[in-house]
Structure 1
Amino acid sequence: MADIRLKHYHVRKGRGYWLVTPKMRAHGFENVRCGPDGAQAWAIAQEWEQRWQRARKGQEVSQRKVYPRNSVGYAFERFRHTNEWARKPSRTREDWDRGWQYIEPVFGDLNPSVVSFEMLDGWYSKWCKVKGVGEAGRAMKTWRALYNVMAAMKLCQPKQDPSLAIRKTSVRGRTETWTEGEVVRLVKGAWRAGYRGLACIIAVAWDTSFSPVDVRTLTPAQAMQTAKEWGFLIDRTKSGESAFGTLSVRTQRLVVGYVGSLGVTLLDEAPIFRSRGFAPGPKGGRPRAGVPYTKDALVDDFADLRRLVFGDSEKRRLMDMRRSGAVEANAGGASVEAISAKMGNSIDENKALQRTYMPVNLVAVRAADEHRRKGRKLLGQEHNEFKKLKLGGEKS
C-alpha cells in the first residue's frame, strides 16, 4: 500500500482515523472514523482536513456545516460516514437528504434528548401547511429513522421517540390503471415519434409488471429463456426479491428489432433502452446520440408521449402499469402467491417461506399471466363508470 501522509490522519489496527486537537474540538470538530486504511479512508480524512482549514482561517465553509457535539446534525454527519450509509441505495440516500432539509433548520443544532413532543408537533404541522402532507410525511419518516440511529449512538433513549405520538396524515394511494388498448396506443405512438427505447420500456413494463426503475436498467445479461418463453430475470431494486418477467411474442419482436436498430453490440451489463437523442433538422443543431434512461429523463419523455397520444388532460404515469397487471391478475382469480411471484415482492404474508422455497416460481408466474389474460377479458366486459343517480323528482 502507498505511503500516504495526511495531517491529523492516523492508522490503528488497520483502520484510519482523523483525530482532532483541543483547538479543533473548540471549533466543534470531533474525531472521525474513516474506515479501513485505504483510498476511501484517505479521501474522508482529506475532506475533514479541508473543512478544518477553512474554519481555522475564518473562511465561509463551502461544504457541510460543523454541528455542536452530540447534536442531531452531529449524529447525521457521523451516520454519513458509516458503512451502513454507504450500503443504502442512492435513491434512499436522496430521500434522507430530502427529509433532512426540513429537519436541519429546526433541530440540527439541538441535542436529540431535548426535542419534545410539542416541538415536533409544531414542526410537523408547519410543514403540512407549507409543503403539503406528502413532504411533511417524508420529513417525519426521516426523523423517525434518524432517531433510531441516534439512539444506537446513545444520544437519546431507545424507543422513546416523541414523534410516535403524532399521527401522520397519509397521502391517498394511487388507484389509476391502464388498459391493454391504451398501452398499445402508447407503444405505437412512441415508436412513430422516435422514442423507440421508450416504446420498448412501456411494452416490457406492461408484460412484466416491473417497476419503471427495474425496466429502464435492464441489461442483456438479465435476458433469460425457458422451455416456453423468454423474458428478464432480475433482483428487484427496491425489495431485492427475484422476479422473472415474461414477454409476449409481440414485445419480444419489438425488443429484438430495437436492439438490432442500435447498430452497436451491447455489453452484458449495459442498459438496453436509451433515449432517442437528437438528429439535426433543416435548422441545424448538434447531433446527440441516445443515452441510457435516467429517472428524470424517463419521466419527462413519458409525459411528452402521454400528451402527444392522449392530450394535456391525461395524468396517469408509467408506474401505474404495475398496478394494472395486479388488477388484471386479481380479476382473473390469481392467488396472492402467484401475484407475489409475478411482481417480485412480498405481497403474500409468508415472506420467509416464499423466499426460501419459491425464489422464482415459473409455474406461479405463468399462472399469473394466464389469470391476467382472463381478468383483462372480464374487465373489458365491464363498464365501471359511476354516474350520478337522481333520487329526487324534478322540481316544478
Structure 2
Amino acid sequence: MLAKSWAENTAAMGRDSIRYFVYSKGRWKWQPTKPMRAHGFFTVKMGLGGPGVDSKGYPTASTEDKMKAVELNAAWDAARLGLPAPQKRVEASPKYPPGSVGDGYQRAMAIRKAARLAKGIVWTNEQVKRDSWPRAWKWIEPKFADCDPRTITPEHFLRLDQATGKPAGLVVEIETKVSVTERFMVIKVWRALWKKMGGMKYCDLTADPAKTFPNTPPKPRDQVWYRKEVLKLVQVAWRNGYYGLAALMAVAWDSQLSPIDTRSLNFEKARLDNVGVYFALDRAKTGRAAAATLSAWSLAILRAYLAKQFSGAKLLDKTPLFWTRGGRPVSRNGETGQWGGDHGGGRHVPSRPYTKSSANQDFAEVRKLAFGPSEMRQLQDMRRSGAVEGDVGGATVEDQSNKMANTVDRNEKLRETYNPVNVVSARRFDQARIIGAKLLEEQKVAKSISATPQEILLGTDIPAKLLK
C-alpha cells in the first residue's frame, strides 16, 4: 500500500517529448547532463505517474510535472545562452515537493530553531544530538517524505496483513527492528509534525492518521540502587584503578545528574555557597538550570581523584573532570589536552574524557566485579534511586524538581519565574534522601522469596491437614 505523491493528485495526460524528462527508478525526473550540473542544475524528482500508461508503458506523467520540466528547460536554455532568466523560472527544486510531508518537516525544523533563537536559546552539540526529531525522521522520510499528507491513511502505520493475518505497518516495523521505546518516540514526533503541517494548511489538523491507534509508552524502568550498593561500586572501582569512574559514580549519586550531565562537568561549573560545593549547569536534555549539590563523601572522593589524575598539571576551566583509566592527561605546554603515562605493568594506555560508550563499558566491568555477571542495573538508575530516597524521606515534589532540574512538579513556568535555581531547596532534598536511605536500609527482606501463595498468606507453620 503506497501513499500518493503530491504530483499524483493532478490529472494525467499523454507523454510529450520533453528534454531531460525521464522515467527512472519508479518515478518521473528532470535529469540534467554533467555540463548542466556544472551550471548549478541538478536532478529534480517528481511524481510517480499514472494511473494510465504512455506509449512506452511508463505511468503517465502528470500535467504539473510536465510543466515543471518545461520551465526547467527554459531556465537551462537561458543559462547556456547567457540570456536573462525567464520571468517564471523554476529554480533548482527543493528536496521535497511543495506541500509534501518532507517540505512540512523542513519548515517545522526551521521554525523550531527560529523559536529557540528568538528566546536567546542556542543549543549545545549535546542538545542537538539528543533532539528526537531527526532521529524519528529517519523512519518517517522513506515512507512519507514526498507524499501529500492528506493521502496517508491509518493503515500505513498499523494494519492486518491479509496474507498472514498478522499486524503490519510502520509501527510493527519499528518495534520489530528496534524497540517499543523507538516506536513511541517516532509516533510522538509524527503527531507533533502533523499539528505543525495543519498550521501550514497542508492537512486537516483533526485528521491525523496516527491518532486512530494508541501510542502506548514503554514500561518505565523501575530499577533502583541502594546507598550501600553504590558505596560498594565506588570502592570496587577505586581499588581496581577506575578512579575516574569511582568519582563519576559518587558525584552522579549525590548530584542526581544524568550520566550525560555528569560527564559534562568541568572546573568552570564548580560553585561554593555557605554549605559546600555544588555545580551550576544547564541540563543537556531540557536546558533547565540545575544545582548539582555534593555531600562531604562525594566531594572527598572527587578531590582525591583530581589530585591523583591532575597533580602538577595546569588545568583549563573547560577541562573535563572524569577520565578513563590510563596515563595522566598532560600536554607539551603543561596544559591538559594530550595524554601520556602508562597503566598496568608499564603498558602505555592513554587516558581520555569519559564518553557514553566508555563509561558504560567501564561501569559494566565494575558492576560485574562487585555483584557478579547476573546484575544488570545501569548507571542511569542512580538518578531514579535518589528520587526514591527523597520521596521516602518526606521531601516535597518542589524540592525534587529543584534537585533534579525537571518538571516533576508540573509548574515549570511559575517556578522558573520565581525560583529558577533554588540551591537551598536542593540541599533540603539531600537531607530527605539521608532519612529515606535509612528507612530503606531498615526494611528486612523475607527469609524466603520462594514461598508458595499459601505460605505467604498463612505463614510457614501451616498444619499438614490444611494442605491436604
After TM superposition, the score normalised by the length of structure 1 is 0.76
Query: 1:166, 1:52 → 2: CA distance?
Result: 45
Contact residue 326 and residue 343 of structure 2 kept, 8 A: no
Q: How does 1:136-151 map to 2 (within 5 A)?
A: 136-151=183-198
Matched, 1:185 2:232: yes
Matches within 5 A, 1:25-174: 27=29, 55=43, 66-77=95-106, 84=113, 89-93=127-131, 95-122=132-159, 123-127=169-173, 130-131=176-177, 132-174=179-221
Q: Could you list the per-position Cα deviations for residues 198-227 of structure 1 after superposition, in whole angstroms to 9, with x for gaps in the alignment?
A: 111100011111111110000111111111
Q: Identity across aligned pairs (percent)?
A: 36
Aligned partner of 1:390 in structure 2 is 453
- Partner residue in 2 for 1:37: none
Q: Is the 8 A contact 1:28 1:68 kept in 2?
A: no
Rounded to whole Å, the distance in 2 between the matches of 1:210 and 1:130 is: 32
| Counterpart position of 1:328 | 389
SS of the residue aligned with 2:292? strand
Local SS of the residue matching 1:379: helix
Total equivalences in the alignment: 344
Residue among 230, 244, 247 paired with 1:200: 247
Please, what is the CA RMSD of the aligned residues?
3.2
Q: Could you tell me which amino acid in structure 1 is paired with residue 297 of structure 2? A: R
Q: Distance in 2 between matches of 1:178 and 1:28?
A: 61
Residues 1:224 and 2:271 aligned together: yes
Return the match for 1:274 from 313, 323, 327.
323
Distance 1:249 1:51, change over 3 A: farther
Shift of 1:322: 0.8
What CA distance in whole angstroms lies between the structure 2 residues aligned with 1:361 and 1:83? 29
Change (3 A) 1:146 1:301: farther
Aligned partner of 2:292 in structure 1 is 245
Distance between the aligned counterparts of 1:102 and 1:238, measured in 2? 22
Q: 1:261–1:159: structure 2 CA closer, same or farther, 3 Å change rule?
A: farther
1:300 to 351, 361, 366: 361
The alpha-carbon distance between structure 1 residues 28 and 76, as it changes in their structure 2 partners (threshold 3 A), is farther
Report SS of the residue matched to 2:454: coil
TM-score normalised by length of structure 2: 0.66
Q: Which amino acid aligns with 1:237?
A: A
Distance change >3 Å, CA 343–CA 156, structure 1 → 2: same
- Pair 1:318–1:52, CA change in 2 (3 A): farther
CA distance in 2, matches of 1:343, 1:79: 30
* Distance (Å, rounded) in 1 between the aligned partners of 2:224 and 2:410: 24
Alignment deviations for residues 291-311 of structure 1 (CA, whole Å, 9 cap, x no partner): 222222222221222122212
Match in the other structure for 2:5:
none
1:310 — aligned with what?
A: 371
- Give the Å deviation of 1:80: 5.7
In the alignment, structure 1 residue 259 sits paired with structure 2 residue 323: no
186-195 or 82-91: which moved more? Answer: 82-91
Distance 1:51 1:213 in 2: 46
Task: Give the structure with the higher percent helix.
Answer: 1
Asked whether the 8 Å contact 2:325–2:343 carries over to 1, the reply is no
